[in-house]
Amino acid sequence: MINNHVNELDGTLAALADPTRRKVIELLRDGPRPAGELAQAVQMSAPALSRHLRVLRAGGLVEAAAGGDDARLRLYTLRREPFTALQSWLDQVQAFWAEQLGSFKDHVERGG
């Protein structure tokens, strides 16, 4: 279970490591968008953006569904689960540091 969680987190972080992919995530926060619109927004060719979308899909961060009347049109949307898992991990790291700083504060106040 822990290894699976770590592998998912690794995939999420790897997908988010690229600034273009982070920009795509930001754009998709406003709602589903077709690949062509995303490519135009990040000023990238459709084939180049397609590689980024493939990484985001493989990392589970986005999903594509047929959109509208044209079955060839793919609308990309964000998936909640990987972001929830990432936030949970960040919360655990934050809790660790809060505990460490609290212990240090107690130590200093005791004059140690």
Backbone angles phi, psi at 45, to 5 degrees: -65, 155
pLDDT value for 112: 62
Q: Which residues of the chain have pLDDT under 50?
A: none
Q: How far apart are the C-alpha atoms of 93 and 15, rounded to whole Å?
A: 20
- Whole-number pLDDT of residue 2: 56
pLDDT computed for residue 37 by the predictor: 96
Buried-state track 5-14, b at ≥16 Cβ within 10 A, e below 16? eeebeebbee
pLDDT at 4: 61
